[in-house]
Structure 1
């Protein structure tokens, strides 16, 4: 695609993804306060968070998001990401400038960077020697830096597209590498039934009181399922119908195989080859659109995860007897919108983010076991919601950018019509 076409499609795609994510968050917040699943069970309030723990603030999380957008090393971004943690120390005496010095800083188990600053917790008097203080440090943790890698690949692809004939060798190499990777994924997927059966069996066997657990989380599951059902069956199809004036359920019928694969794998990334194949083969979506929108959606469009990330903290607050102010709920919604963009399309990725939210809001993290027990099921429902939303978005772009319904030429990576001149130049040089 040329820069003009990719720019328009990129803006439209991101507007669609952000809008549907915001709607999903509003739906989740509304349902969890209407149904109130945490107030209908018998769980006792838990012990408050330990005073020896200082959770990162919302500002820290936003800064971490920005720092991860620009990784220092693209290779290290594939295996680790940056996070802000707090370590405890003490003030002991004043220096020559009248400032208190810090000593006995608790060692962090993570890799330290050179960026540190001091934070005074509420109610702590740091004018007395021996008073505790928290030091914020930027550390690296194992994990895929999705945002940084995605930004680098976007810039790399845009520059490669500008090179045209000169970049043809790199382009061909990446296309063949992608095909090899997709074939490997297809081979691995033959083991999916056995793997899913083992995962489900392990989750069931790890529960000591199955009947009691079902009683406690029944309303929580009902809340999540209601939100996912409304978003998948009503909200997204309504958006599709308003924009295209076509039957939205034909899109879902055309990608049934992808939805079943999402149910089995619990991963948008693992489902991606099947999703692309269904959209191109059954829905006749142009390759330039499907291979631009769907890989991006597998990483960015996490409507199900965003809804889950707001419902769970409110549910934990309800079973713990903690009242959340309106401002905290609003901040939770904004944070969920931002972090869902960087949530990996792999099983149980949302749990990590939820634990950060719960700790930051001062809620007991030991109640998260309630969510662990049934996340194997809810995660599959979230993945179906995400994949269905991706396919709807690709179909909407097909309507606006390729209304003739053509699927391009027989060439594997056919360009958009406005880029045919560039292809002619390449063929002439060859």
Structure 2
């Protein structure tokens, strides 16, 4: 790439992909809270709270979010997260109880006791519970569960620092590379047994459901919510962004990448579809080689709009099924986690399910409802991949419009990569 324009292209690419991911998350939240697929056929949980509960304020939720982003240490982040809890305590006015005891005010004017403790007794033995009034005190406590925000931030900073080490960091990089190979080998073994395991989980879940018709109805409502979100993102929002920025017909891009979209539908993988995507963009859309081979691989790695929608719809759906009320903090944490996780998700089938299971564990939601969704993920995963590939190609077309309107990227050999590659291949064959 030309070093003078590579920085601008890279900045535009990252900004576009992050912006569309955030929009996709907002679309997912809007649809799942409007349609409420988990509440159809069931009674909604009551939002009324008893007098013994004091909800945290917005400021407390923001503080909790910041504290979870920067945990005390990475080990604690793997097993617990922090949140603000209000504890009811009783305030006792000594002067009201006995005026002659007002001399105690110079030392202390109040005594406290927690609501669940034994009655407080004054120094002279008199019980003061009759003259007490309740107050709420904020305390920072820990709850069991994975702090995924802290782990994601830690891993991002760790990776950035490791990249700056250069050659000295190769040892650590090779360690994680080998660890990844070991983990993938274990996953391959598990995958051979996954059809039997998934069938057993789904069968057990179906047999344990008393209202099978209601479960099927709610599942279809969930699928309809996901499909609606993917449709709005890929047919309305992304083409509208392209139309506003370029004043061109966005569906011309979609017609030029039909082959790539069909490949994505069949493979359920942006990485596998990448060669076809590059070929469609370069031959059909006349996008320069420099742009297509820079933007599209990055898009296949970090542009997961379909996964972002699925990652926010599924936890909220399961929370609705379980009758769990999600606070503003939970929604903010889920949105931020989905943004980071969709950028870091692998472009392979089934990776989103593992991420969502982590979300459910960190939010304290049951994971047993996820097995039914897993049975339908083969279909939803293909639609998510189509959405991702369509967004990648729209980004490449946008960059072509802003940085190379004439469609030329330099020498003719760069715009005809197959001809250049064939020439190099003939030279190597003749040498051999």
TM tier relative to shorter chain = 0.5 to 0.7
* Counterpart in the other structure of 2:147: 56
Whole-angstrom distance in 1 between the partners of 2:174 and 2:244:
43
Computing the radius of gyration from Cα coordinates, the structure with the larger value is 2
Give the structure 1 partner of residue 318 of structure 2: 316
Q: Which residue of 1 aligns with 2:256?
A: 254
- SS of the residue aligned with 2:364? coil
Which of residues 155, 158, 171 in structure 2 aligns to 1:67?
Answer: 158
> What's the CA shift string for 1:317-336, capped at 9, x where partnerless?
00010000112101211111
Q: Which has the higher helix share?
A: 2
Q: Is the 8 A contact 1:269 1:298 kept in 2?
A: yes
Query: In structure 1, the residue corresponding to 2:413 is in which secondary structure?
Result: coil
Deviation, structure 1 residue 352: 1.3
The aligned runs of 1:175-214 (5 Å cut-off) are 207-208=202-203, 209=206, 212=213, 214=216
Counterparts of 1:12-411 in structure 2, within 5 Å, are 12-41=12-41, 54-71=145-162, 72=169, 73-78=172-177, 80=179, 142=183, 207-208=202-203, 209=206, 212=213, 214-406=216-408, 409-411=411-413
- Whole-angstrom CA distance in 2 between matches of 1:315 and 1:383: 21
Of residues 60-69 and 290-299 in structure 1, the stretch that sits farther from structure 2 once superposed is 60-69
Structure 1: unaligned runs, 5 residues or longer: 82-139, 145-198, 416-430
Report the Cα distance in structure 2 between the residues aligned to 1:218 and 1:381, rounded to whole angstroms.
15
TM-score by length of 2: 0.63
Q: Distance in 2 between matches of 1:9 and 1:36?
A: 40
Compute the displacement of 1:281 (Å): 0.5
User: Cα gap change, 1:249/1:201 in structure 2, threshold over 3 Å: closer, same or farther?
Assistant: farther
Q: Residues 1-12 of structure 1: matches in 2 within 5 Å?
A: 1-12=1-12
C-alpha distance in 1 between matches for 2:352 and 2:40: 25
CA shift digits 1:39-83 (9 cap, x unpaired): 0145999xxx999964235223321333244555333444546xx
How far did 1:202 drift? 11
Residue 20 (structure 1) shift = 0.3
1:223/1:80 CA distance change after superposition, 3 Å: farther
Q: Residue deviations 1:253-301, cap 9 Å, x none?
A: 0000000000000000000000000000000000000000000000010
Return 5+ residue gaps in structure 2 as ranges: 46-78, 81-141, 163-168, 186-193, 418-432
Moved over 4 A (4+): 41-45, 49-53, 69-72, 199-207, 209-213, 407-410, 412-415
Q: Distance in 1 between matches of 2:41 and 2:201?
A: 22
Please give the per-residue CA displacement for 1:165-186, whole angstroms capped at 9, x wherever unaligned: xxxxxxxxxxxxxxxxxxxxxx
Aligned residues: 300
CA RMSD of aligned residues (A): 3.2
Contact 1:25 1:307 survives alignment (8 Å): yes
Residues 323 and 202 of structure 1: CA distance in aligned 2, closer, same or farther (over 3 Å): closer
- Change in Cα spacing, 1:311 to 1:141, as seen in structure 2 (3 Å) is farther
